[in-house]
Every structure is written in C-alpha cells, then in structure tokens.
Amino acid sequence: MPGRTQATLLLAATWLSSAGCGGGGDDDDGPGPRGPSGPVTVDLDAPPPVLLSAYHLFTWDPAAGFAFNDRVVPYDVNTALFSDYALKQRALYLPDGTTARFDPDRPLDLPVDLPVGAVVMKTFYLPADLRAPGDAVRLIETRLLVRHADGWHPLPYIWDAEQHDAVLTPAGEVRAISFVDAAGAVQVASYLIPQRNECQSCHAEQDTATSPIELVLIGLKARHLNRAHDYGGSIGARNQLDRLTELGMLSGAPAAASLPAAYDFRPIEVSGPAGLAPAALDDAARSYLDINCAHCHNPRGVQGMTSQLFLDHASTDLFHLGVCKRPGSAGSGNGGLTFDIVPGDPDMSILYFRTATAKVGAMMPLLGRSLTHGRGAELVRAWIAAMPADDCVTVP
Amino acid sequence: MQLARLTTIVLGVGFAAGCGDNFEAPNFPTTDCTSATTAHCLEIHGGDSAGLVTAANSIEAGTTIVLGAGTFEMTGQLTLRTPGAHLIGQGIDVTTLDFGATTTQGNGVDAIGNDFLIQDLTVLDAPKDGIRVEASTGVVFRRIRATWSQASSSSNGAYGIYPVKSQNVLVENSRAENASDAGLYVGQCQHVIVRNNTVTGNVAGLEIENTQYADVYGNTAEDNTGGIVVFDLPGNPIVGRDVRLRNNLIRNNNHVNFASGGTVGNIAVGTGTFALASRRVEITGNTYQGNNTVDIAVLSGLAIEQDVTKWTLPTATLSGSYADLGLLPGGPAGTIMNFRGENIVIAGNKHTGSGTRADAGDPLMLGLLLLLAYNGQAVDSVLYDAIGEPAFHSTDAALNSNANHLCIGGNTGGTFASMSLERQSPTVQIPFFRPAAPFRPFDCTALAGGPVADVVLP
C-alpha cells in the first residue's frame, strides 16, 4: 500500500501546478486551461440539464486537469469516504451575492444554511495505475447536489466514453473497473455509480422515524474542511475555511485555527496506523468511522437509526458506539459474531468484520464499496485492539 | 390515464432503443395501467431491467409501475424514494426480480416513501434483504414472494419481507422462504396486520420485533428453525406491545439453524413460538404441531442479555405509547427497562406431537436443559422461564408467584411448565413446576389493562 497517498498527492499537485485550480479565478494569475466559456448556469425552474457542461461549473482536460469557473471553489476533506480507491475532485459553487452562513450553534455543520442555487459537486476518477496517477486518467462520474428552496436535489452524471461530457443518468450503473493499485496488484472493482434514489441512502436524515426526511450534506462540514489546500497561482496554500471567508463565500466563521479538525488520514494511507499515540489513534478511527459510516449510523440517519449503532463524531455513548452491543438487524452480515465491538478483540467484533470483508451481503458501508480498504480496516482493527479488554459476557 | 400512458410510451421507446431491444408488445396478461389507482402509471415490459431502474429513479409521487411477465435480471438494488410508489407485477410466479447476478452490495427492493405498495411478484436472491421498506407510513405487501434459490445457505440474505420503522403496514397472502435470518420480519413498526402468509425454510419464519399493535393471523409457518416469534431487542427505543398471534398454523419447524449467529442463531431447532422481552401479547387459537423442541416459550430478555443496563432506555427517546405499561424503572432517573416478559395470554391453542426431540445444540442450551429435564418424555406445550418471579417451587402452586402476569388458564388443550431458568444449568437441574390445567397460579385468562384491540388500518 505505501505510495498510494503519495501518488494521489502527486496527481493533485500536478493539476494544481499546471491547471491552477483556484476558486474565484480572479485571483488566479497562473497559466492553465481555459475554464467554462460562460457564467455558471443553474436554472432551478427547468428540468435538470442532460449534459453536465450546461452548468458551466468546470472543465476537464486530460493534459491540464480541472479548471473551475468563478465562485466554484475546490476543496478536500481530512478523511475521505472510501469509494473503491476512486480519487475525487470536490467543489462548491455559490451564486453571486450569496454566502454560506456559519452557524455558531452547529459549528461542525457548516452548510446548514447554504443558499438556494448552491451546487456541491464531486467528480470520481481513476488512473489506470495508481502508481502513475497522472496517466490514463478516466473520469467516471460527477455527482451534484443542487440546492432548491425545498432542499437538496441529487443528480448523477456519468462521463461519456470520449470523456467530453457527462450525461444525467438516473439509473446509475454498475461498472467493472480494473486498475493497478499502489502495490502493483490488479484490482477489479464492481464500481457503483449510484441510482438517483440511492443518493438518499447516504444523504438522508430525519428527527424520528415518522418525521419528514431531508437531504443533507456529509463532507461539507467545518471539521472535515479544516485543513490547508494549495490553491496554486499567487494564492498558494491556505486553510480552506479561511479561504472561503476571504472569498466572501462564508460569513460568521471564526478563524479556522480555533475550530476542531477531523484527523488527516493521508499519513495512515501511506504508513498504516502503527505507532499512533492512543489519542491520535482514537481521533483517527473516529474520524474514519464518521465519514465512512455515520452518514447512516447517526441518531438521525434514516437507515442507520434502525440498528441503534451510532458512529458519528458527536456520539460518545459506548453502547451506541457498539461496545458489547448486539446488532439490531445485521442478519447474516454479522459474520457469525455476537457483538458490534468486543473491546480488545477485533476478530470478535462485527464492526471490524464488516469493514474488512468484501463479501456482498455482509460488507459495510451499504453502498459504494466492492473492495476492501486495507488501511481503513487496519485502522479500525488497531482502534478496537487498543480498547481495554472486555469479553462482553461477564456482567460487570 | 391518457397522459400517463403517453409518458409510458415515451420512456419505453427511449429504453428499448437504448438497449437495442426490439419493440415487443408489452406482456401484461393480468394487470396494466388501466387498473392503476395512482395519478400516474408506467408499464415496463418483462425483462427490461434497465427501463425499470430508470423508471424507479424518475417517477413522480403517486406512480404505479406495472411490470410485465418475465424475469428482470437486476444488476443492483431497485431503489424507490418516491411517495405513492406502487410496484405491481403479473403474479407471484409470473414476474420475477432476480438479483442473483448482482455484484454490488444492496437489498433487492429498497423503498422509503409513504403509501408504498408491492404486489404480484417474486424477489429472488437479493444480496441482503429481499424487500426492505423503511420509515414509511402506509405500506402494503400483497401476493409477493421473497426467496433465495439455495435452501439452508447462511450466505442467503437476512430478511425476506422486511418492513421496518414504518406505520400502517399490511402484509398479506405472501411467501417468504430460505432467509438466513427471518423470512417475514416486522421491525420497529406500529399498527401492523400480517395475515394469510406462508413462511418456510427460514431460520425464523415470522418475527415481530420491537413492534406496537400487530395482528398476526391466518399465517402458516412450517419447516423453519423457529415458527413465529415476538421479541424486543436491547437498546431499541420502540417498546413492543399489543401483539396478537391468532389462528395461525405453526408446524414442523425443525429446520436446521443456518443463521450465522445473531439473535436468531440462538433459536433452538424445533421452536414453534417464543415471546421474549415482550408484553401485552395474546397467543390464541393457533395450531401447533410437530415442533420438536417446544411449541411456546415465554422468556425474559435476560435469557439472551443479562446486563440490565443494556435494557435501560431513557424515556425521552421512546417512540409510541408506553406510559400505561408499568415498565420497570431503570437505574438512572428518567429511564425504563424492557427486558421483562410480562402480561401475556396463551389460550385456546391446539398442541399435537411437539416436544419429542429437543435440540441438543442451541447456544442458550435451552434444548439441552429440556432433554435433561424431560428425559424422553415430551416437553410441555408452554414453557415459562420464571425469570423475575420472586417465588418458585417445583411442586406447590401456592409457593409460585405470577408477578409477570402470565395467563395460561384458557390453554386447556396444552400442558405447561415453569422452570426457574436463572438457576438451571446442565449440571444444576431443578425440577420444573408442571401444574395441571388450569395451571394455578398462572390461571388468569385476560391481559391486565384489557385485551389487545383490533388493528384498524386507514
């Protein structure tokens, strides 16, 4: 596995230096490909466009990478959802004259008040060989969440074979994608491009089982965004939250240095979790579970609340974290085990089993993974192993 | 329906062309859009799985999708998130959604949305659950089947027919087979009717879990590990109550337990019914026959989870009504505990040929205890673990308490024993208390607080 993160970073760096992926392009005086030819167009009253290019959000060129339009700002997250090793380019668009409002009552949930017309986009792509991440890159899909007055509307676009444009595809697709991983082994993913309705498997929350379901953002939260990003050109590396404030796209946020940050997974992807101090191991594991599991497994998760297993960063109750907890409805996904987490014993813990297995019908997350994320599973394993041992059977 | 028909045609052409199909006549021998009761309707011809998935992801609220005869080879779960979605095939053996070639994780049909209906089709070989309908109000399963083609395989999906966290649920005239957990699983629902279904070849045939107000009647549970069971799980904020099992046929549930562990992995082969951590349950008028371990067991939640803190729930988190149940207070203020099995009526059931070959291998060792206790005799029809009873005596009725208000008085067609399970082990055997009818002090015949009311769906 060593080298994957490095490769990813190299790829990103290649693009940043050559493409100057700066949001708010007026500050960007670097050379680069031409971005979209007109202003961003988001018509909330019309049916969604069939072609992604109609939004004028960004352009893609195999040689030069992504180029973003005005008020389209790329961002990255500290720990990412694992999606069969696909690399991701994320960006946020806000209409002219609007800002995201930082809510001091929900400081970890940055986008509680993103304006109508906002678009959050994520493009998934893979090179042929993760050891040469700038070569033979194929864009797979771009997922949009478009903010309407009644909430977020999800729209899946699939890139065409010529890589010229992406086409709105409500049915999604399951596609066999082979690539060489960072260790030089061939991997074949049954890569899931979600159906439009499947967006709601992850992006849906409600207060109780009878409350209205609302679509929510997952990664666009202060703790995930709170990290440096190289904007290229004359801007260089800046904290992403501070940069949004500078651009006038975020109001009311304190300096990023005063805000919490999720753990940066990148060093773990390179070296694994060995040697992490106890506090860092806990922080890293909780950040990993938060971004990979808590979109369902939180007290407001429509499908996750069924299990009463809550892995969001804010949940601290040990039982609901899975410690000595019997699963609610794991069915045959339990791997023959009894408890979600047996402290000190990952091999007896369903949480580790479902993270490590690639068995269809048993693996977690529910959607979007067909391969095992080796480093992620190692991290969860190390986290459970480091807990004070408890057999979960002897009643205290 | 004119406009809706036009929509159908447009979609159909688009997809037939896209997939290189011929323009075949749709095959709708039983049902088509003329009988749809929703505002919109689409017809998808048999086998057009791409058209079906596109339709499912494109429909407006209040749309019937009529599926033609034939088999739809699905590559991923069929996901529905639109209110008023009705999915109607041409018959339980005529229209099949086959998920056997699915290479991605997922359920078969995965639906969230009020006023959901699925009818007249089969869901085959789903990776996880066959048909999962969640967080929805107004759910109908009618004449459908959820099944897996390989019997007794622990890699089969967990639940066949699975309404969960839903209200006003009707499951009728349907079949659930070969699920590695529960065939027909009603979880965390309120106001439920389950009638005239057949469940076979599952680990648990029919489960009612953490559910309030359920009427379960006219069903056949045969050849499962356990037939029809009612229970609460620890830590779940819907406290089960008011469940009626009546006039069901529960026979020969002696199937090998092929679950990969979990709660159902504990079920002894040959269990007709158990009620565990349940209250306000009526088990009446059922026919029990040939269940090798026992027909009916009444168990405390402590039989599977002895740590009472895991049965402790803050009342502020509870859904539905519970205040009249007299639940045990938990340790911390503002909490209750729901492990007790209490306030249960068992009456008027027929029992024949059961308890003759108790399972010697169940993880809870219940079957082993029974083998030792009965030593070749048939196990009594109704067993009670007597956990939480302040008084137990093996022979003197006056020295037994009925603090959990278990009423066997009307079950004169069967026999009864209580067993002080907490103190039993394979090495410490305490003789069972085996009173004759009317089973004093368990000779009451009515629930405290009045009988379970009829479930009336809007």
pLDDT tens string B162-209: 999 999 999 999 999 999 999 999 999 999 999 999 999 999 999 999
CB-CB under 8 Å, A333 with B305: no
Mean pLDDT, range B273-294, rounded to an integer: 98
pLDDT of residue A304: 83
Select from B212, B5, B153 the least CA-distant residue to A331: B153
**Has residue B10 been placed in a domain?**
yes
The answer on pLDDT for A104 being more than 90 is: no
CB-CB under 8 Å, B306 with A308: no
* Same domain as B187, residue B324: yes
Q: Nearest chain B Cα to A306, which residue?
A: B165
The answer on pLDDT for B19 being more than 70 is: no
**Has residue B150 been placed in a domain?**
no
**Has residue B451 been placed in a domain?**
yes
* Same domain as B139, residue B102: no
Q: Nearest chain A Cα to B307, which residue?
A: A395
B53: contact with A, CB 8 A cutoff: yes
Q: Each residue of A251-273: pLDDT tens digit?
A: 999 999 999 999 999 999 999 99
pLDDT of residue A328: 80
pLDDT of residue A396: 60
**Has residue B82 been placed in a domain?**
yes
Q: Which of residues 123-142 of B touch A (CB under 8 A)?
A: 127-129, 134-135, 137
Task: Provide the number of structural domains found in chain B.
Answer: 2
Q: Which domain holds residue B71?
A: 1-128
pLDDT of residue A4: 32
Closest partner CB to A360 (pick from B81, B104, B263): B104
Q: Which residues of A touch B265 (CB under 8 A)?
A: 336
Higher pLDDT, A257 or A15: A257
Above pLDDT 90, what percent of chain B? 87
Q: What is the DSSP string of B191-203?
A: EEEEES-EEESSS
The answer on pLDDT for B12 being more than 60 is: no
The answer on pLDDT for A167 being more than 60 is: yes
Closest partner CB to B103 (pick from A209, A331, A360): A360
* Same domain as B338, residue B200: yes
Positions of E strands within B55-174? 63-67, 70-73, 78-80, 85-88, 95-98, 109-111, 116-124, 131-134, 137-147, 159-164, 167-172
pLDDT of residue B194: 98
Predicted confidence band at B20 (pLDDT cuts at 50, 70, 90)? Answer: very low
Label the pairing between strands A214-215 and A87-93: unpaired
Q: How far is the C-alpha of A121 from the C-alpha of A72, rounded, in Å?
A: 10
* Same domain as B252, residue B295: yes
How many contacts, defined by CB atoms under 8 Å, are there between A and B?
Answer: 153
CB-CB under 8 Å, B129 with A171: no
Show the CA angle centred on residue A369, arms to residues A367 and A371, nearest 5°: 155
CB B213 within 8 A of CB B192: yes
pLDDT of residue A112: 60
pLDDT of residue A187: 96
* Same domain as B385, residue B288: yes
pLDDT of residue A1: 32
Q: Which residues of A touch B261 (CB under 8 A)?
A: 334-338
Closest partner CB to B58 (pick from A170, A326, A329): A170
Predicted confidence band at A305 (pLDDT cuts at 50, 70, 90)? Answer: confident
CA distances from B279 to B188, B212, B230, B284, B340 (A): 15, 10, 10, 15, 8
Higher pLDDT, B76 or A9: B76
Q: How far is the C-alpha of A73 from the C-alpha of A77, rounded, in Å?
A: 13
ipTM given for this complex: 0.85
Predicted confidence band at A393 (pLDDT cuts at 50, 70, 90)? Answer: confident
Q: How far is the C-alpha of B167 from the C-alpha of A24, rounded, in Å?
A: 49
Closest partner CB to A328 (pick from B154, B233, B304): B233
Show the CA angle centred on residue B21, arms to residues B17 and B22, nearest 5°: 100
CB B226 within 8 A of CB B178: no
Q: How far is CA B138 from the centre of its chain?
A: 18
Q: Please tell me the least confidently modeled range out of A19-28, A120-129, B26-35, B242-251.
A: A19-28
CA distances from A61 to A10, A58, A64, A67 (A): 17, 10, 5, 8
* Same domain as B136, residue B89: no
Mark out the alpha helices in chain A (DSSP H runs): 4-19, 199-202, 222-225, 240-246, 266-271, 278-293, 318-321, 350-356, 374-385
CB-CB under 8 Å, B306 with A329: no
* Same domain as B60, residue B175: no
CB B352 within 8 A of CB B414: no
**Residue A196 DSSP class:** G
* Same domain as B168, residue B124: no
Predicted confidence band at B21 (pLDDT cuts at 50, 70, 90)? Answer: very low
For B300, other C-beta atoms within 10 Å of its C-beta total 25
Select from B172, B4, B32 the least CA-distant residue to B90: B32
Mean pLDDT, range B432-439, rounded to an integer: 97
Q: B408 burial class (0-12, 13-18, 19+ CB within 10 angstroms)? A: buried
Beta bridge partners of B172: B142, B195
CA distances from A178 to A78, A187, A368, A373, B61 (A): 27, 5, 16, 16, 38
CB A261 within 8 A of CB A249: no
Q: Each residue of A65-103: pLDDT tens digit?
A: 999 999 999 999 999 999 999 999 999 999 999 999 887
Residue A100, both tokens:
């995201």
Q: Which of residues 306-365 of B touch A (CB under 8 A)?
A: 306-307, 309-310, 319
B164: contact with A, CB 8 A cutoff: yes
Sign of the alpha-carbon torsion through B261, B266, B270, B275: negative
The answer on pLDDT for B2 being more than 80 is: no
**Has residue B149 been placed in a domain?**
no
Q: Nearest chain A Cα to B232, which residue?
A: A328
* Same domain as B232, residue B136: yes
Residue owning tokens 């939004």: A55
Mean pLDDT estimate for chain B: 93
* Same domain as B175, residue B102: no
* Same domain as B160, residue B118: no
pTM of the model: 0.90
Residue B238, both tokens:
């819907």
* Same domain as B109, residue B248: no
Q: How far is the C-alpha of B363 from the C-alpha of B386, rounded, in Å?
A: 19
**Has residue B444 been placed in a domain?**
yes
Find the farthest-apart pair of alpha carbons in chain A and give their distance in angstroms, rounded: 68
CB-CB under 8 Å, A332 with B154: yes
**Has residue B64 been placed in a domain?**
yes
The answer on pLDDT for B348 being more than 50 is: yes
Predicted confidence band at B125 (pLDDT cuts at 50, 70, 90)? Answer: very high
CB-CB under 8 Å, B165 with A198: no
